[in-house]
Amino acid sequence: DSGVTQTPKHLITATGQRVTLRCSPRSGDLSVYWYQQSLDQGLQFLIQYYNGEERAKGNILERFSAQQFPDLHSELNLSSLELGDSALYFCASSVSENQPQHFGDGTRLSIL
């Protein structure tokens, strides 16, 4: 158990819809990261927050947004969903940016 909790585990929705993925980081971790993994590919970094502030951005689409709340949990919002957005979305957390990341078990998003 990594201590990182992601909800929901599975999400099925339709094109054009909007969903919110939630992540609770490991206790004490200030940094939260979001990744997308499509079809047995590598993890693509989306965005990172540190103590509520956006710290780094990767290949995140404009239709996607995220935030980290004062209690350090984070949400990833995906809107105007397309079939290609079907993927596993992982959240990870770490004490600081230069420490190994601890991953949740992911949210599997299926767009029909």
Partner 1 sequence: DQQVKQNSPSLSVQEGRISILNCDYTNSMFDYFLWYKKYPAEGPTFLISISSIKDKNEDGRFTVFLNKSAKHLSLHIVPSQPGDSAVYFCAPHGYNFNKFYFGSGTKLNVKP
- Interacting residues toward partner 1 by CB under 8 A: 2, 4, 33, 35, 40-45, 48, 55-56, 58, 90, 92, 97-98, 100-106
Helices and strands (DSSP H and E) totals, the chain: 0, 11
- In the bound state with partner 1, the residue whose beta carbon lies nearer, of 42 and 70, is 42
> What's the min distance (Å) between Cβ of 16 and partner 1?
29
Cα separation of 45 and 33, whole Å?
8
CB-based contact 21:75 (threshold 8 Å)? yes
Complex with partner 1: residue 2 or 110, whichever CB lies closer: 2
Q: Min. distance of Cβ 2 from partner 1 in angstroms?
A: 6
Least distance between partner 1 and beta carbon 98 (Å): 6
Separation between Cα atoms, residue 47 and residue 9, nearest integer Å: 20
